[in-house]
Structure 1
Amino acid sequence: MKKKVQLGDVYSSTLPNGMYGAVRVVNMVNEGKYMSYLVYTTTYMKENKPTIEDTELLEIFTENSAIYGKQPALDWLDKEPSKSVEYVGNIPLNEDEMKLESSSYGGNFDVGCATPIYWDWVRNNNIDIEQEETKVNAGVNENLPSEREYVSRDEEFFWSMISKMDWKQGDEWDIADSLVDHLAKKSKGKIKVFEETLAYLLYQLDTKQHAEQIGEHSYKTDNDFFSEDLFLYARCYVVAKGKNVFQRVLQNPLEMPKDKEFEALLSIAEEAYEQKADLSFDYVSEYDYETYSNDKGWA
Structure 2
Amino acid sequence: MTMTWAGFWALIGTLDGEAGEAGCLRLAEELSELPVHDIEGFAERLAEALYRLDQEKFGTLPVADLTLRDGAPFPQSADSFLYARCAVVAAGRSVWESVFFDVDRFAPYTASTCDGESLLYVPDRAYELATGKEWERSTRHSCETFSNRDGWSHLGA
Q: Indicate the SS of the match to 1:215.
A: strand
The alignment partner of 2:15 has SS state of: coil
Q: Note if 1:269 corresponds to 2:123.
A: yes
Q: How many aligned residue pairs are there? A: 142
The 8 Å contact of residues 238 and 257 in structure 1, kept in 2 or not, is answered as no
- Relative to its length, the structure with more helix (as a share) is 2
Matches within 5 A, 1:1-299: 151=1, 154-165=4-15, 172-213=20-61, 214-216=63-65, 226-258=76-108, 259=111, 260-299=114-153
TM-score with structure 2 setting the length: 0.82
Shift of 1:225: 6.3
Asked if structure 2 preserves the Cα contact closer than 8 Å seen for 1:217 and 1:226, the reply is no
Q: Distance in 2 between matches of 1:291 and 1:171?
A: 19
Q: Deviation above 4 Å: which 4+ runs of structure 1?
A: none
**Counterpart Cα distance in 2 of 1:178 and 1:233:** 19
Structure 1, residues 201-236: CA drift from partner, whole Å, max 9, x if none? 100101110113352569xxxxx9641000000000
Question: Are the structure 2 counterparts of residues 226 and 240 from structure 1 closer, same or farther at C-alpha, using a change threshold of 3 Å?
Answer: closer
**2:100 aligned counterpart, secondary structure:** helix
**Hey, what's the Cα distance between the residues in 2 that align with 1:205 and 1:164?**
21
What are the Cα deviations for residues 21-64 of structure 1, in whole angstroms up to 9, with x where unaligned? Answer: xxxxxxxxxxxxxxxxxxxxxxxxxxxxxxxxxxxxxxxxxxxx
Return the structure number with greater strand share: 1
**C-alpha deviation, 1:264, in angstroms:** 0.3
| In structure 1, distance between residues paired with 2:38 and 2:127 | 10
- CA distance in 2 between counterparts of 1:200 and 1:171 reads 17
d(CA) in 2 for partners of 1:176, 1:237 = 12
CA deviations 1:72-123 (Å, max 9, x no partner) are xxxxxxxxxxxxxxxxxxxxxxxxxxxxxxxxxxxxxxxxxxxxxxxxxxxx
Write the letter of the residue equivalent to 1:172. Answer: G
- Larger relative contact order (C-alpha < 8 A, sep ≥ 6)? 2
RMSD between aligned alpha carbons?
Answer: 2.2
CA contact (8 A) 2:58 2:106 kept: yes
Task: Give the Cα separation in 2 of the matches to 1:225 and 1:238.
Answer: 18
Alpha-carbon distance in structure 1 between the residues aligned to 2:19 and 2:90: 13
